[in-house]
Amino acid sequence: MAKKKVQEKKKYDNPDVVGLRAEVLEQPITETLETNYMPYAMSVIVSRAIPEIDGFKPSHRKLLYTMFKMGLLSGSRTKSANIVGQTMKLNPHGDAAIYETMVRLSVGYQALLTPFVDSKGNFGKVYSRDMSCAASRYTEAKLSAICGEVFRDIDKDTVDFADNYDGSMKEPTLLPTAFPNVLVSANSGIAVGMASQICGFNLNEVCETTINYLRDPDHDILSTMPAPDFPTGGEIIYDRTEMENIYRSGRGSVKVRARWRFLKKENIIEVYEIPYTTTSEAVIDKVAELIKTGKIREINDMRDETDLGGLRLAIDLKRGVDPDKLMQKLFKMTTLQDAFPCNFNILVAGNPKVMGVREILDEWTAWRMECVRRRVYFELAKKKDKLHLLKGLEKILLDIDKAIAIIRNTELESEVVPNLMMGFGIDQVQAEYVAEIKLRNINREYILKCTAETDELEKDIEELEATLNNRRRIRSIIIDELKQINKKYVIPRKTGIVYADEVEEFDLTEQVEDYPVTLFLSREGYFKKITAQSLRMSGEQKYKEGDGLRDSFESSNRRDLLIFTDRQQLYKAHVYDFEDSKASVLGVYLPTELRMDEGERVLAMVDPGDYSKNLLLVFENGKAARIELSAYETKTNRKKLINAYSDKSPLKAVIVLHDEMEIACFASDDRALVFNSALLQTKTSRTAQGVNVMALKAKRSLTGAAPVKETRIRNVSRYRAHSLPAAGALLKPEDRGEEQLSLIEE
């Protein structure tokens, strides 16, 4: 690592600060990253964004522990503002951030299947973007009953404690949750270079699965915990293969759709549960957009009628509309059906780790066994201490009068304990205990009652020692606790399960009429779709002043379109997304229609067909890349692909290779080159730079390329090359023409 270099000190020109010197330090970027950025990144990962094996982030843990210390587990509710203020002793953040944490953990917000905060007042709703919570001074809260299982035996050395941020008090590093809360509570976080997204599972299913897993490590987890459970309900479209992949790897996605019912008398569809990943406002906004663009014509109106009874989205239908087909369409085109992405990234001993469900249960079991072992050891030490005191008391029982005489005849208070130790052969701890006994209790009956516990204590100690040395016993303790929790907290499953093969998928293309069209793209990015009949009846194509035709070809209404831009991006669209047009209009402006970035320009328009052909990308530096069109085919409805082609040189031509064909390239020095596309090998990466095709002189560039049959070159053999790269030949006058210019013009 390079040493810091201190530049020459410069005096300030300001006479008011004479004597002060400015010191400028030069520091290598690698050193800046290591000394300045890495500590921040590690802090975000370890102390903020990623949940730990107890299922909590630090902010959750600090809030709940503060409420526990405030006596809010069994006491009455207190103002949320009071809780927020007390939490600042452990969490040095503003009140807004702490209150947001409390809101998410609350019963009222409905973000968790097993909420930890028993709330009173308006805490907002997770399924609403606009329904915000009331201020902390208006709401009240306490801990939910299930927090008794979260803090079980926390005072028995089950977990480690550490200093808070200013060292004024102690806080637990983890909470000794008696159930796998890491799977029960949904959690998400974005750290530096990594993220975490954990879906929630039903408490009773998790407990049952953990019990079976502790008894049989080969237990089929899917048989007792078939799928996640979301607090907003809905229905999971169940794909066992995908679910097995999520359970195994900790990554994947779960499809969730809304629940609805049709009210025949009112001709209304009522949506009463929506996916966990969306909001009622997002659904209404999307439906309104689809109605406005004419993509949905079956709906008269859609209203949000959510009240104290819960979520309700009402959709007024037009006469004769089939509600089932409409909902299939809405599932396809809106977030009424959405995917929950899973990324089970959890901190284990301070290290982030993406784990499957079985591995999470394994880690939680090992951690919980350590908590129980520490609790047993704590109880064992307490009982041993008590037995030790009672053993000393037994010796006093042999001669109570002697003990009284020793105490009475001792002149100095400091000599009472040493004299008792010598008189009865007991140690200092036992002597201190005897010396502290009240005068009224120095009688045979009291001492006999105390020492009667000795045999029972010895049996208990023997049992506890046997438990410490037997992992099976510790597992049995965990199983018994899980059974109690399962019996005490019965939480019905909220999210239904619908098998994927039973779901009828809506195919939008089947609803779209297919007919031949001709597509036109202007140099400035205006697009027109004209039917064959309209094209026969129309006259000259209309363009803006200074604009003209860039490309045109025949297609059909159900085909896909690939739009290449100058930002190495590709936009996907369907031909039916655009209204039929006429030659007498300008058409739609693609940068606006496709919501391109500011200043982004359209370079080319391609009909990919069935994505089985190849694509030839020709660049300004004389290189060309042959890429399979399937590289641009996506299974999802993504409308924008970044890194669509290499950014090493500007793109000059995009040619679909239906078969092997001869391609003509043109350079800025009036040279032309003709080669067969068979000379180029297919690249596997979209961002491939390609191979040198046209050998260019200094300060010369490739200006365009096109199939030879689309150019005015007559003497093809003059420019043909049999190996690449080649310089080509100077164009003769008879081979020149405007059509020789690039299909992608500046």
| Positions marked catalytic | 138
Could you give the maximum distance between any two Cα atoms of the chain, in Å?
135
> Is the separation of the CB atoms in 566 and 591 below 8 Å?
no
Neighbouring CB atoms inside 10 A of 146's CB total 21
Spatial separation of the C-alpha atoms in residues 696 and 714, rounded to whole Å: 23
Is 346 in contact with 182 (CB distance < 8 Å)? yes
- Residues in Cβ contact with 143 at an 8 Å cutoff, skipping those fewer than 6 apart: 64, 67, 68, 72, 73, 116, 117, 118
Burial class (CB in 10 A: 0-12, 13-18, 19+), 618: buried
* Rounded-to-integer distance, Cα 638 and Cα 287, Å: 19
| Cα–Cα distance measured from residue 51 to residue 112, given in angstroms and rounded to the nearest whole number | 15
* Exposed / middle / buried, residue 173 (Cβ in 10 Å: 0-12, 13-18, 19+): middle
CA distances 439 to 319, 418, 447, Å, are 94, 19, 12
Nearest in space to 276 (alpha carbons), one of 191, 335, 189: 335
Backbone angles phi, psi at 42, to 5 degrees: -65, -35
Contact between 631 and 645 (Cβ < 8 Å): no
Give the burial string for 412-424 (b: 16+ CB within 10 Å, else e).
Answer: eeeebbebbbebb
Q: Which residues contact 461 (CB under 8 A, 6 or more apart)?
A: 380, 383, 384, 387
- Nearest to 585, CA basis, from 538, 537, 543: 543
Report cis status (omega within 30 of 0) of the bond before 228: no
Task: For residues 235 and 498, give the distance between their C-alpha atoms in angstroms, rounded to a whole number.
Answer: 6
How far apart, in whole angstroms, are the C-alpha atoms of residue 598 and residue 573? 19
Question: How many other β-carbons are positioned within 10 Å of the β-carbon of residue 537?
Answer: 11
CA atoms of 503 and 615, how far apart (whole Å): 36
For tokens 């006994």, name the residue: 437
List CB contacts of 343: < 8 A, sequence separation 6 or more: 195, 196, 197, 198, 250, 251, 354
Q: Are 628 and 582 within 8 A, CB to CB?
A: no
- Whether the Cβ atoms of residue 704 and residue 653 lie closer than 8 Å to each other: yes
Residues written for the chain: 746
The β-bridge partners of 317 are 299
Residue 626 contacts residue 657 (beta carbons within 8 Å): yes
> Residue by residue, what is the 3-state secondary structure of 57-88?
CHHHHHHHHHHHHCCCCCCCCEEHHHHHHHHC
List the one residue out of 409, 478, 408 whose CA is nearest residue 153: 478
Is-contact 673 706, C-beta < 8 A?
A: no
d(CA 550, CA 741): 10
Both tokens assigned to 553: 């070809």
